[in-house]
Amino acid sequence: ATLMQVAQELERCYTQFSKYNDDDCSVFASGAVMSDQGFYEISASGSDLTESTFTLTAAAQNEQADDADCGNLILTHLGEKKTSAGASDDCW
């Protein structure tokens, strides 16, 4: 849910500033975003966050890091849902 929330916030930044990585867009102002339950740390930096594209990575944390089937969840500006382990159907 937090991954989708961050994507929506980036879309609002794009609507307001005409780019995802505008300095006034405060989505990642304090660094990565932690999910409410602490299971994922969501980030996008460098080439993952440009004026016209983003790729968000929700890196598994704590006990969720033991999930070898899904690994990290990945969401792009196009709505593409992937995982670092390759098996996305059961993970999303």
| Residues 49-78 pLDDT 10s | 999 999 999 999 988 888 778 888 999 999
Collect all residues with Cβ–Cβ distance below 8 Å to 74 and sequence separation of at least 6: 55, 56, 57, 58, 80, 81, 82, 83, 84
pLDDT of residue 73: 92
pLDDT of residue 40: 93
Q: How many CB atoms lie within 10 A of CB 61?
A: 14
